[in-house]
Amino acid sequence: MKRILMAAAVAAVCGCEKVSEKIHGGEPKPAYRTVEIARTDIVATVEATGTVTPIKKVEVGAQVNGKIIKLFADYNSVVTNGQVVALIDPLVYQANYDSAVAQLHQNEANVLQREATLALAEKTLARKLKLFETKSCSESDLDSAQEAHDSAVAQLAAAKAAVEHSKASVSQAKANLDYCTIVSPVNGVVIKRSVDEGQTVVSSMNAVGLLTIAEDLKTIWIEASVPEADVGEIREGQRVTFTADAYREKFTGVVKQVRISSTTTNNVVTYPIIIEAENRGEKLFPGMTTTIAIETARADDVLAVTQAAFRFRPKDKETELKGRKLWVLGDDGEIEAVQPEFGVSDASFTEVKDAALEGAKIVIGYETGNAKGVTGQSNPFMPKMPQRNKNKGTAPAAKQ
């Protein structure tokens, strides 16, 4: 019995030595973490924050001084072109207008008087000329008649000028009186009120703002600031998706304008981008903050590889290929560098323009452990395969 046990033990030791020689007889090949090149939709975007503004807003102001005796519009009031929105006390301006009209009437009466004086002077001058021809009138009498005629002409001209001046004064007084009744110049919605009834406004060089009216809120603008590093990718007409904190939905718009007026803040240069969007149900209010994603490039249903593949550098492999490249794992466990043509890129994937690489295993790193733990759950750090964009046709949702 002892001999049998000893023989079994010797056999077991010999077997272990053979297994060890088989395992350690050569250098084991490294294990790699890989992903397959698969098809997906890639959308490159430039992200920024913006502010909702009306396409056109008008500030209605007071051009005369006085007390606001009545306001006919308030916040959110819908107004129409020509509608009275405020009234300034017209008492002083009515008196000035009446005074100007009275002065005009007086000057018009003076013109009639001067016309009569001129007519008499013309008759007197004609009579003196006939008498002078028959030597029945002295030359001095003729000169006096001529002087009276010329004076009457001048006085009539002055009287007519006074009438024109009075007409201008009446027009000015009438304008000031009309300015007491403030009307809306456009159809729109009141988004700001700066005065209260009973408040006195004093207009000096500039009109005093009373109300701010947004002409149309069915279509709005979003003004966003984009850094100079990204502005070169933005063009008019590009599709934009955006969200507002007030709603859990996505809105769409287009780039309306890329303005060349820059702003520098803390050595960062930004440019304003104007986005036009339909305001469905007028949900978006002026001043709301939005998070936007401007679609700068798109590729649908294309071969793509994760960006992590470009960061892999093998420890024991060299290649003459320069620039971005991929390392493909062959069936024999060896890896080989390839450099296909690349297309559109976003934060996660890059388009691969080589149909022969579809399904190829691309190395993204060395395997330091099983892809699955002892419980069989997937390693959360393993890259995920790309999937088709279910939101095809629109830019992806902006990052929160």
| Amino acid identity at 198 | G
Neighbours of 298 (CB within 10 A): 20
Q: Is residue 29 part of a domain?
A: no
Q: Is residue 173 part of a domain?
A: no
Structural domain total, the chain: 3
Looking at the fold, whether 98 and 232 belong to one and the same domain comes out as: no
Point out the domain boundary residue: 273, 298, 323. Answer: 298
Point out the domain boundary residue: 160, 195, 215. Answer: 215
Query: So what's the pLDDT on residue 317?
Result: 84
Looking at the fold, whether 243 and 131 belong to one and the same domain comes out as: no
Query: So what's the pLDDT on residue 47?
Result: 95
Looking at the fold, whether 190 and 224 belong to one and the same domain comes out as: no
Share of the chain above pLDDT 70, in %: 85
Q: Is residue 140 part of a domain?
A: yes
CATH code of the domain in which 133 resides: 1.10.287.470
Looking at the fold, whether 190 and 78 belong to one and the same domain comes out as: yes
More confident residue, 25 or 307: 307
Task: State the average pLDDT over residues 333-351.
Answer: 93
Q: Is residue 385 part of a domain?
A: no
Point out the domain boundary residue: 250, 276, 298. Answer: 298
Looking at the fold, whether 76 and 185 belong to one and the same domain comes out as: yes
pLDDT grade for 135, boundaries at 50, 70 and 90:
confident
pLDDT grade for 105, boundaries at 50, 70 and 90:
very high
Looking at the fold, whether 85 and 113 belong to one and the same domain comes out as: no
Looking at the fold, whether 120 and 237 belong to one and the same domain comes out as: no
Looking at the fold, whether 224 and 275 belong to one and the same domain comes out as: yes
CATH code of the domain in which 211 resides: 2.40.50.100
Task: State the average pLDDT over residues 18-23.
Answer: 34
Looking at the fold, whether 70 and 196 belong to one and the same domain comes out as: yes
Task: List the beta bridge partners of residue 299.
Answer: 42
Q: Is residue 138 part of a domain?
A: yes
Q: Is residue 372 part of a domain?
A: no
Looking at the fold, whether 204 and 99 belong to one and the same domain comes out as: no
Task: State the average pLDDT over residues 78-91.
Answer: 95
d(C-alpha 172, C-alpha 161), whole Å: 17
- Mean pLDDT is highest, among 16-25, 239-248, 389-398, for 239-248
Residues 6+ apart with CB under 8 A from 245: 288, 289
pTM value?
Answer: 0.67
Within the chain, how many helices (H) and strands (E) appear?
A: 4, 21
d(C-alpha 241, C-alpha 226), whole Å: 15
Tokens of residue 144, six digits = 């006096």
d(C-alpha 33, C-alpha 309), whole Å: 10
Q: Is residue 324 part of a domain?
A: no
Q: Is residue 393 part of a domain?
A: no
Matching residue, tokens 């401007």:
294
Residue 185, domain extent: 64-89+180-215
Q: Cβ distance 121 to 94 under 8 Å?
A: no
Tokens of residue 260, six digits = 């060349």
pLDDT in tens, 275-287: 999 998 899 999 9
Determine phi and psi for 146, rounding to 5 degrees.
-65, -40
Query: So what's the pLDDT on residue 363?
Result: 94
d(C-alpha 195, C-alpha 95), whole Å: 25
Residues 6+ apart with CB under 8 A from 164: none
CATH code of the domain in which 225 resides: 2.40.30.170
Looking at the fold, whether 239 and 256 belong to one and the same domain comes out as: yes
Residue 14, pLDDT > 90, answer no
Looking at the fold, whether 289 and 220 belong to one and the same domain comes out as: yes
Q: Cβ distance 148 to 121 under 8 Å?
A: yes
Single out the residue of 85, 61, 325, 275 nearest to residue 184, CA to CA.
85
Task: State the average pLDDT over residues 348-359.
Answer: 94
Single out the residue of 46, 74, 61, 42 nearest to residue 271, CA to CA.
46
d(C-alpha 85, C-alpha 80), whole Å: 10
